[in-house]
């Protein structure tokens, strides 16, 4: 496949390819990606899955992903500009996956380009991660899975504990030690003062999977009088 990366869109990095390597789908699966970037992962999965929906708050990312879908003649994808689960309302999926922002960000940080939303993640690096985890079960089918890649900068143990608390069976699919990227290096002093770094220039990248226990869908938190949007 051929991919273009537009201005204001974060290009795939090491964590993107680590996540892609550990995403498995069947031809009957419906898949949701939260944060599509240029669309690389969604389009790779669409070659095997029944359908893929990708959501991103960055409108440039959505345009970029649509362009790449057209460039590669892939039609079973739907890219939407929106905030996490909001555009898919009450739909359920076999797989949800994300490479969310996870770089801790100093308070009162002013973004100068929308591309920064691809990595800025609040003071503890979990601003988006925690929102994804809080509602994941409402959007998964029985035996559904959520797969995330994140850094040790954003408390991997908390992610696993939150998934377990929410009723998921949790396992680590992959782990790599990587040198800090330029964004984290630029914040090294602040990150060290926050106790996030252990005095070196490396981080752990981990792919975590949560699967619904006993194949049961979650008791929905949606209002009972709302219709299901398919």
How do residues 5-28 score in pLDDT, each as one tens digit? 999 999 999 999 999 999 999 999
Distance CA 143, CA 211 (A): 6
pLDDT value, residue 143: 93
Q: For the whole model, what pTM was predicted?
A: 0.90
- List strand residue ranges (DSSP E) for the chain, in order: 30-34, 51-56, 77-81, 93-98, 140-151, 168-179, 202-212
Q: Is 7 exposed, middle or buried (0-12, 13-18, 19+ CB in 10 A)?
A: exposed
pLDDT value, residue 198: 79
Altogether, the residues listed in the chain come to a count of 230
In the numeric block, which tokens belong to residue 114?
Answer: 């929308």
What is the pLDDT averaged over residues 83-87? Answer: 96
pLDDT value, residue 214: 64
Contact 76, 49 (CB under 8 A): yes
Distance CA 16, CA 199 (A): 26
Domain range 14-213, its CATH number among 3.20.20.80, 3.40.50.150, 3.40.50.300, 3.30.70.120: 3.40.50.150
With b for 16 or more beta-carbon neighbours within 10 A and e for fewer, the 173-194 pattern comes to beeeebebeeebeebeeebeee
How do residues 184-227 score in pLDDT, each as one tens digit? 999 999 999 999 997 889 999 999 999 997 655 544 433 333 32
pLDDT value, residue 200: 87
Q: Which residues pair with 150 in a beta bridge?
A: 206
Contact 126, 158 (CB under 8 A): yes
How do residues 145-197 score in pLDDT, each as one tens digit? 999 999 999 999 999 999 999 999 999 999 999 999 999 999 999 999 999 99
What number of helices (H) and strands (E) belong to the chain? 7, 7
Q: Which residues pair with 211 in a beta bridge?
A: 145, 169
Contact 49, 97 (CB under 8 A): no
How do residues 109-139 score in pLDDT, each as one tens digit? 999 999 999 999 999 999 999 999 999 999 9
pLDDT value, residue 78: 97
């Amino acid at each position: 496949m051929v991919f273009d990366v537009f201005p204001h869109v974060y290009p795939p990095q090491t964590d993107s390819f680590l996540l892609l390597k550990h995403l498995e789908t069947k031809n009957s699966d419906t898949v949701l990606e939260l944060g599509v970037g240029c669309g690389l992962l969604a389009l790779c999965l669409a070659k095997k899955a029944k359908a893929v929906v990708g959501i991103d708050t960055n409108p440039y990312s959505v345009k970029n992903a649509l362009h790449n879908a057209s460039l590669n003649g892939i039609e079973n994808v739907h890219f939407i500009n929106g905030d996490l689960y909001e555009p898919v309302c009450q739909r359920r999926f076999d797989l949800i996956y994300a490479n969310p922002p996870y770089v801790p960000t100093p308070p009162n940080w002013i973004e100068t380009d929308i591309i920064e939303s691809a990595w800025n993640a609040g003071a503890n690096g979990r601003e988006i991660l925690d929102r994804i985890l809080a509602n994941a079960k409402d959007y998964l089918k029985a035996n559904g899975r959520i797969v995330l890649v994140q850094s040790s900068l954003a408390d991997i143990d908390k992610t696993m504990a939150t998934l377990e608390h929410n009723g998921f069976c949790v396992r680590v699919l992959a782990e790599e030690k990587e040198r800090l990227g330029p964004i984290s290096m630029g914040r090294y002093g602040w990150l060290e003062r926050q106790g996030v770094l252990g005095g070196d220039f490396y981080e752990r990248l981990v792919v975590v999977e949560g699967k619904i226990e006993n194949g049961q869908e979650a008791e929905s938190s949606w209002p009972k009088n709302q219709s299901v949007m398919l």
